[in-house]
Amino acid sequence: MKFRLALCQMNQRVGDLAGNVARILEWRARAVEAGADLVLFPEMQVTGYPTEDLVLKPEFVRRAMAANEKLADATADGGPPIIFGSIYAEGGALYNGVLMAQNGGIVERRAKRELPNYGTFDELRVFTPGPMPEPVEWNGIRLGLPICEDIWQERVCAHLVDRGAEILLVMNGSPFELHKDDIRQKMVRERVKETGLPLVYLNRVGGQDELAFDGSSFVCNVGGSIPVQLPDWDEKMTLCDWEKGEDGWYCEPGEMAALDPYPEDVYHAMMTGLAEYVDGNGFPGVILGLSGGIDSALSAAVAVDALGAERVWCVMMPSDYTSSDSLEDARACAEMLGCRYDIIPIKPGTEAMEQMLEQPFHGTEPGLAEENIQSRLRMVTLMALSNRFGPMVLTTGNKSEMSVGYATLYGDMAGGYSVLKDAYKTTVFELSRWRNRVRPRLAKGPDGPVMPQRVITKPPTAELRHDQKDEDSLPPYKLLDRILEGLIEDEISVAATARRTGADEELVSQIEKLVLRAEYKRRQAPIGIKIGSRNFGRDRRYPITNHFRTGL
């Protein structure tokens, strides 16, 4: 007994019901030509994922269910049935579901049982948990159809095997995180070992706001071998041939794509998130301040690789404190990337502000206020260009700075999207060194280095006063980032972080205070792509007014 299964690792657009349906039908047609007997699509492929509060609109639910019926109508041609993810309403409840369409009708529906309610997910808020799902029978084969989170806990798969399932077909909307490939495959092997059933893990690709979906779909046979591995970040349809032997069903060896190693996976996540956000929201391109520093250089490189040099506009906005090295490095970076580059000095603006504030500032010492005026003038300049010509302003701050508030509200924090929002400064250095050696597989940017080596090696500085260095105000980034990982990623106490890092407990306590004090700034920052386990935003939701401390 044999059959051929088409795995459709696809992108999707949230809310674009007609477009998503059209693409499902296009891919089904391709699967028919390839001789598929059954076609599988990712979680919520009809609606896009995550839908968030769109599903609270009755009209959206009505149209989504009509889209489900349109897909079912298309199967009246006698071709292979399709199994796809969508929403459906029944008995006054709304479900994240999987539907099977065959011979012109929806023949089976199953609802997601384990609704995630942590980190980036809040499905329990908008969906009703389904009952324990029963297997679906097709051509004499009992298929288990758990959905994403259903396999991260044991009970749904255990129920399916108890009810006679022979193969587990799992559709997913699993976003990228560091080390996620290893985590997924380990978990899937555990389910396969527990159930004694082979498992198909089909994931979507693409970006949705601050989430990047890497695909990386695969099949795991009983025994833990992986006979089929789809690529990460690319849309792909793969045909899997299945045969039933004495010990049950198994998938024959097929495509085995190589997955991105670190840090290429992170870089591709940044590219994917930015490209999908810019294109999905109709911007012609991006504009950013190119300072001659590493953060703006890396942000520009990601933008060029994601969008192409013709859609990236870099602007150097020097002040009296901008060094000749920074001017040279910014120009060289733009030339290496091949993007538009302009110089707009902010001195006329700072002089005008000095005149405006001369009376209220009289008798006080120059300091932080004057530094922040420079940052805010630069953002006013970029926003004016954005308003006039249309490109979205890209901010260039990293997670280390955002963590401790080393950023200017309504200045360098203002913009539409932040590529480096979830990248610590040490990660920025790693990515920059790597990109100068390697051109990413999916990049639209140039071969060879994308920034001068001096950008990577010189001490980081905001250049808002003479001889300023980041380490005047902060510990060395190698130490700071380890402290921040303890306090933010792992949520451990000041004392535990001090023991782990070897840092002085008083220093760690000071960093904790900075992190908590900067929460009000982060609430007003643009979104940025998630790459770690605790990004600022959906993963970490702290009260702004908060009097709890773990330190001194």
Q: Do domains 2-251 and 264-470 have the same CATH topology?
A: no
Residues comprising the chain, all counted:
552
pLDDT (tens digit per residue) in 140-174: 999 999 999 999 989 999 999 999 999 999 999 99
Q: Which residues pair with 144 in a beta bridge?
A: 168
Q: Of 8, 108, 114, 148, which residue is the catalytic one?
A: 148
pLDDT (tens digit per residue) in 222-240: 999 999 999 999 999 999 9
Reduced to 3 states (helix: H, G, I; strand: E, B; else coil), residue 438 is coil
Sign, CA dihedral 152-482-537-495, equals positive
Classify each residue of 163-177 as buried b or exposed e, where b means 16 or more C-beta atoms within 10 Å of its C-beta: eebbbbbbbbbbbbb
Evaluate if residue 410 carries a pLDDT over 80.
yes
* 465 confidence band (pLDDT: 50, 70, 90): low
Q: What is the mean pLDDT of the chain?
A: 94
Q: Is 294 annotated as a binding residue?
A: yes
Q: Is 57 annotated as a binding residue?
A: no
Q: Of 43, 210, 463, 485, which residue is the catalytic one?
A: 43
Q: Is 418 annotated as a binding residue?
A: no
Query: What does pTM read for this prediction?
Result: 0.93
Q: Which of 57-61, 302-306, 322-326 shows the lowest per-residue confidence on average (mean pLDDT)? A: 322-326
When pLDDT is averaged across residues 250-274 and rounded to a whole number, the result is: 96
* 347 confidence band (pLDDT: 50, 70, 90): very high
Evaluate if residue 469 carries a pLDDT over 80.
no
Evaluate if residue 82 carries a pLDDT over 80.
yes
Q: Is 79 annotated as a binding residue?
A: no
The domain spans of the chain are 2-251, 264-470
Q: Is 236 annotated as a binding residue?
A: no
When pLDDT is averaged across residues 100-125 and rounded to a whole number, the result is: 92
* 548 confidence band (pLDDT: 50, 70, 90): confident
The reported pLDDT for the residue numbered 439 is 97
CATH architecture of 264-470: 3-Layer(aba) Sandwich (3.40)
Q: Is 293 annotated as a binding residue?
A: yes
- Measured between alpha carbons, how far is 324 from 316 in angstroms, rounded to an integer? 12
The reported pLDDT for the residue numbered 467 is 66
The reported pLDDT for the residue numbered 551 is 81
User: Residue written as tokens 């007994």?
Assistant: 1
Q: Of 8, 108, 112, 512, which residue is the catalytic one?
A: 112
Can 148 be counted among the known catalytic residues?
Answer: yes
Can 333 be counted among the known catalytic residues?
Answer: no
The reported pLDDT for the residue numbered 250 is 94
Evaluate if residue 462 carries a pLDDT over 80.
no
Domain 2-251 classification at class level:
alpha beta
Q: Is 351 annotated as a binding residue?
A: no
When pLDDT is averaged across residues 124-151 and rounded to a whole number, the result is: 95
Can 112 be counted among the known catalytic residues?
Answer: yes
* 470 confidence band (pLDDT: 50, 70, 90): low
CB count within 10 Å of CB 359 equals: 7
Q: Is 202 annotated as a binding residue?
A: no
Contact 29, 39 (CB under 8 A): no
